[in-house]
Amino acid sequence: MRIKFFAVTVLILMLMLMGCSNRVISFDGESDNWKVMLTNSSETEMAEFTIRYIGDEYAVKDVHYQFSGQEFEANGYEENLGNPQRDIKHASGAKFLDLEQFPLSIHIQWNEDRAETISLEKL
């Protein structure tokens, strides 16, 4: 009887600890000119993303971006990406994206006449 009670107690504690663990969801996508990374933590529920220019244009300006998903939407504007760092980094409001439909997409426009839409896949 004691062994059975001990085993049940250990099992319950293990399930509680697993339920408290931090789950991180990552999304990734790349085109000829952009690499996009999105991470989301169950602990903080913050969605953090990096949009990195990987193309070969020297001047990258007037960058408009818009994520479009069922659970996650974010948009923004950067007037001028400097050299050599060409990243846009932001964190959005609290939301855990474990139910996001795939693929999640982002539309990016820059330099007045350039545009791409990138699909992000869950890693």
* Percent of all residues in the chain with a pLDDT value above 70, rounded to a whole number: 80
Question: Higher confidence at residue 102 or residue 53?
Answer: 53
In a domain, 15, yes or no: no
pTM higher than the cut 0.85:
no
Q: How far apart are CA 38 and CA 24, in angstroms?
A: 10
Q: What is the dihedral of CA 121, 86, 47, 15, to 10 degrees?
A: 70
Q: Say what the pLDDT of residue 3 is.
A: 67
Total number of domains constituting the chain: 1
Q: Say what the pLDDT of residue 78 is.
A: 94
State the residue range of the domain holding 101.
Answer: 23-122
Tell me: pLDDT of 92 over 90.
no
In a domain, 10, yes or no: no
Q: Say what the pLDDT of residue 69 is.
A: 82
Q: Averaged over 27-34, what is the pLDDT?
A: 95
Tell me the per-residue pLDDT of 38-59, one tens digit each, with 9 for 90 and over.
Answer: 998 888 778 899 999 999 998 9
Q: Decide if 36 contacts 85 (C-beta within 8 A).
A: no
At 91, which CATH number? 2.60.40.1150
Q: How far apart are CA 76 and CA 37, in angstroms?
A: 16
Query: CA 42 → CA 37, 38, 39, 49, distances in Å?
Result: 17, 14, 10, 15
Q: Say what the pLDDT of residue 8 is.
A: 57
What average pLDDT is seen over the chain?
83
Q: Averaged over 19-30, what is the pLDDT?
A: 81
In a domain, 16, yes or no: no
